[in-house]
A and B are shown apart, each in its own frame.
Chain A
Amino acid sequence: MKDSQPGSHREIKKTQMMVYEMKVQDVMTREVITVRPDQPMSSLREVLRHNRISGLPVVLENRLVGLISLDDFIGWLAEQQKDCLVTERMSQKLEIMYDDDPLVVAIGKLDRTGMGRLPVVDRQSKALVGILTKGDVIRGLLRKLEIDYEEERLRHHYAGQILKEIQADQTALFFQYNVPGQDFKRAGTGSSRLKRTLKSLGVRPDIVRRIAIASYEAEMNLVVFTPGGKISARVQPDRIVLEVKDGGPGIENVDEAMQPGYSTAPEWVRELGFGAGMGLPNIKKSSDGFEISSQPGKGTRLKASFLLREQRDEAE
């Protein structure tokens, strides 16, 4: 069984790992409906019916003092006694969880006690911080599995991998985005679309981030200084090449423009948090290769390449 179904076996092992790693606070319900000990029993009818729940923590000044269940309520109804306080009927034998308990402890306790819900309290202050049901545990585990699955799916779906499988002397995917000039509100739309595209292709997140930053800085330059231009990305098996072209006005002195802090940006751009002369240096810094050429009056062309190799050392 174990060997014939390696997939499901692995998944079970993973769930086992998760119940040790995840904490009660990761899955519990935080909005808890509570009652006070000095509330009349008759007032429970509405609370239980309206919220469709089978039990309520009884709380006095943030501290958990008991639990009152639907059974307690029915018992009280059946005895047809006159109204009394919750404190007289509540159960004080409390099974509780701490919010930093691992999930595995909670599952064991739910199972052992047969309780439908366990109040969760803060270990230090002993204040009630949530409630845990079996449903919460299952939902929490499923959510975590779903996130992990999505991450794994993206890794397998890696763009470089697809490109390597294509039989050709040269292969590339090509995307292009048109950037209108002077439209500050929409600035960044192209880079945002490029980023999402690269992400869905499964390009490694840290590389996607560097490309997005370079593209966004370049897009800002197009919007602020030019009548508009185009951003394109060529995804090759070993690298992604970002190219940004515009129709003017060009840069007089490219070396000067590459100096950090050198800027010709108008005041309104600076007020919005850009135009401090960091754009081009930032693009160069995020990329693995950078070229720029410009002709005053004609336009500027910028090329930045990003290698699809192993993790780039953050400290390099």
Chain B
Amino acid sequence: MKLDEVREILEAEVLVGTDIHTIEVNMACGADLMSDVLAFAKSGSLLLTGLTNPQVVRTAEMADASAICFVRGKKPPGETLQMAMRGNIPLLTTGLPMFESCGRLYEKGLGRGSGWDEGE
């Protein structure tokens, strides 16, 4: 699924990123615990989170996430925006809560059939 489609489904606003028509999102990972993202998210995932500190962008960078979407209408501070621009990581923000954001994306078929590595 293209990031632009994600934006549409989540009725999200793009804060950073211009190439949302070409960026591919394979999976989504909803988490407020960055260690969980590092441990379980697959590369190419969309990271949905309620945290807005700059380490969220760092986490996305390390875990090869395709983009970050802040939920519950959160707007990140300037240093987070700057880090995303430097690291070329698109940032979106949606007014929807985490549960509904994940639900809508799942319903539209994002990440079906390629679940988490529960066995590890």
Binding site for B on A (CB under 8 A): 26, 30, 184-185, 187-188, 191-192, 195, 205-206, 209, 212-213, 215-217, 220, 272-274, 276, 278-279, 281-282, 285, 314-315
Query: Chain A's nearest CB lies how many Å from the CB of B2?
Result: 9
* In the complex with contacts A206-B43, A209-B43, A315-B119, A217-B61 CB distance below 8 A: no
- Mask: chain B, 97-120; 1 = CB below 8 Å from A; 0 = not: 000000000000000000001011
* B21: chain A residues within 8 A (beta carbon): 30
* In the complex with contacts A273-B32, A273-B34, A278-B36, A209-B64 CB distance below 8 A: yes
Closest chain A residue to B64 by CB distance?
Answer: A209
* A212: chain B residues within 8 A (beta carbon): 61-63
The size of the chain B interface, using a CB distance under 8 A, is: 27
- Mask: chain B, 18-49; 1 = CB below 8 Å from A; 0 = not: 00011000000000111110110001000001
A195→B38 contact, CB < 8 A: no
Closest chain A residue to B35 by CB distance?
Answer: A278
Q: Which of A26, A30, A220 counts the most B-chain CB atoms under 10 A from its CB? A: A220
Q: A26, A213, A215, A274: which contacts B55 (Cβ < 8 A)?
A: A274
A213→B38 contact, CB < 8 A: yes
Closest chain A residue to B57 by CB distance?
Answer: A188
Majority secondary structure, A binding face: helix
Closest chain B residue to A315 by CB distance?
Answer: B119
Query: Chain B's nearest CB lies how many Å from the CB of A287?
Result: 13
Nearest 3 pairs between A and B by C-beta?
A278-B35, A188-B58, A273-B34
Closest chain A residue to B58 by CB distance?
Answer: A188
A185→B54 contact, CB < 8 A: yes
* B54: chain A residues within 8 A (beta carbon): 185
A187→B58 contact, CB < 8 A: yes
* B87: chain A residues within 8 A (beta carbon): 192
A285→B58 contact, CB < 8 A: no
* A195: chain B residues within 8 A (beta carbon): 61-62
C-alpha spacing A187/B53, complex, angstroms: 12
A213→B63 contact, CB < 8 A: yes
Query: Chain A's nearest CB lies how many Å from the CB of B77?
Result: 11
Given A195-B61, A274-B35, list of 11 further CB < 8 A pairs?
A30-B21, A188-B55, A195-B62, A209-B63, A215-B62, A272-B55, A276-B35, A278-B36, A278-B39, A281-B39, A285-B39
C-alpha spacing A281/B40, complex, angstroms: 12
C-alpha spacing A215/B56, complex, angstroms: 16
C-alpha spacing A209/B41, complex, angstroms: 11
* B79: chain A residues within 8 A (beta carbon): 185
C-alpha spacing A272/B59, complex, angstroms: 12
Q: A192, A206, A278, A314: which contacts B58 (Cβ < 8 A)?
A: A192
* B61: chain A residues within 8 A (beta carbon): 188, 192, 195, 212
* A282: chain B residues within 8 A (beta carbon): 35, 38-39
C-alpha spacing A56/B35, complex, angstroms: 52
A209→B51 contact, CB < 8 A: no
* In the complex with contacts A206-B43, A209-B43, A213-B63, A273-B56 CB distance below 8 A: yes
A26→B22 contact, CB < 8 A: yes
Query: Chain A's nearest CB lies how many Å from the CB of B85?
Result: 14
Query: Chain A's nearest CB lies how many Å from the CB of B15?
Result: 19
* In the complex with contacts A30-B21, A285-B120, A315-B117, A279-B58 CB distance below 8 A: no
* A281: chain B residues within 8 A (beta carbon): 39
C-alpha spacing A314/B36, complex, angstroms: 17
Q: 6 A-B contacts, Cβ less than 8 Å apart?
A: A188-B58, A192-B58, A213-B39, A272-B34, A278-B36, A285-B39
